[in-house]
Amino acid sequence: MDKKSAILLPKTRRILETVGEQIKLARLRRKLSGEMVAERAGIGRNTLISIEQGRPSVSIGHYLNVLKVLGLEADFLILAKDDLLGRKLQDAQLTTKERAPKKK
């Protein structure tokens, strides 16, 4: 079976590439080799390279494992945490109670 990769719009692709670059910089700041991080995350070196390049074909679980090795797994919980637009939409769709029928 062929492996399919997500199709991303250019702006979305740039976001993923930025995440990959930030992961790479975090690894370099910690002075960890790519081989060491890949081994600790249970992935291959090529997969780590793909993560650091922000490739959409890599499993989100692999991204999370690398963040854990770098001590940044808590940052993953920040994603979509404060969904202001979603809350506004939810509030706008609140139903109001219907009035009770008039007494005769």
pLDDT tens, 47-97?
Answer: 999 999 999 999 999 999 999 999 999 988 888 788 888 888 888 876 656
In a domain, 82, yes or no: yes
Per-residue pLDDT tens over the stretch 2-27: 567 778 899 999 999 999 999 999 99
In a domain, 27, yes or no: yes
Task: Tell me what pLDDT residue 91 has.
Answer: 81
Distance CA 77, CA 72 (A): 10
Q: Which domain covers residue 79, as residue numbers?
A: 10-92
Q: Model-level pTM?
A: 0.77
In a domain, 98, yes or no: no
In a domain, 103, yes or no: no
Residue appearing with tokens 């609140």: 94
**C-beta separation of 34 from 51 below 8 A:** no
In a domain, 59, yes or no: yes
Which CATH number characterizes residue 83's domain? 1.10.260.40
In a domain, 68, yes or no: yes
The residue-averaged pLDDT of 27-46 equals 97
Compute the C-alpha angle 64/66/41, nearest 5°.
110
Distance CA 69, CA 36 (A): 10
In a domain, 38, yes or no: yes
Task: Tell me what pLDDT residue 38 has.
Answer: 97
In a domain, 29, yes or no: yes
